[in-house]
Amino acid sequence: MLNSLLLRLADNFPDSVEDNLSEKNNAHDFIDEIVMLLSSRPRLGYIESIPGLNTSVLNYGIDEHFSENISRTDRARILQERIVVALQRFESRLQDVDVTSHFESLSRITFIIKGVSQNQPLEFTLVWDDAMSHFFCHY
């Protein structure tokens, strides 16, 4: 069984097979960890361009910063790409990830995130609020 980054970081004895992490890894924890990833932000914005560091825990989460004067359509596309990259990097238990977006209102972009974990389909809704420049996660 694949374990999440958070579960591996919490393991005091990563080389030991005796402390079976998969027993601790239940569906509720999985959902909590997905929500944590989707609501977390990278420590430093420029890390994305540094190979090796961009896949480290310093870059855990979704960067929600943009350069000025970027169109709403471009923001939606960029955020969609960032969501996919974060899930691919930090949540190996979620397979067949598909992210779609639509404009919910003038100030909100909704992202529907679909995937499969342990042969079970999962779906999350992530809402970007343009007025607050912030994500909200629903599952």
| Domain coordinates in residue numbering, the chain | 5-13+20-138
Task: Report pLDDT for 20.
Answer: 55
Q: Which residues contact 42 (CB under 8 A, 6 or more apart)?
A: 48, 58, 59, 60, 61, 62, 63
Is the pLDDT at 77 greater than 90? The verdict is yes
Q: Determine the pLDDT at residue 95.
A: 94
Q: Torsions phi, psi of 85, nearest 5? A: -60, -45
Residue 3 pLDDT level (bands cut at 50, 70, 90): low
pLDDT confidence of residue 132: 84
- pLDDT at position 27 is 67
Q: Is the pLDDT of residue 83 over 90?
A: yes
Model pLDDT, residue 31: 79
- Tokens at 88, concatenated: 């691919």
Could you report the per-residue pLDDT of 7-53, keeping only the tens digit for each? 777 777 767 766 555 555 566 778 788 888 888 888 887 888 999 99
Output the six-digit token pair for 53.
């560091």
Maximum Cα–Cα distance across the chain: 54
Higher pLDDT, 24 or 137: 137
pLDDT of residue 12: 76
Mean per-residue pLDDT of the chain: 84
The listed CATH number (3.40.50.300, 2.160.10.10, 1.10.287.130, 3.10.450.40) that belongs to domain 5-13+20-138: 3.10.450.40
Handedness of CA 94, 129, 101, 53 (dihedral sign): negative
Q: How far apart are CA 39 and CA 135, in angstroms?
A: 7
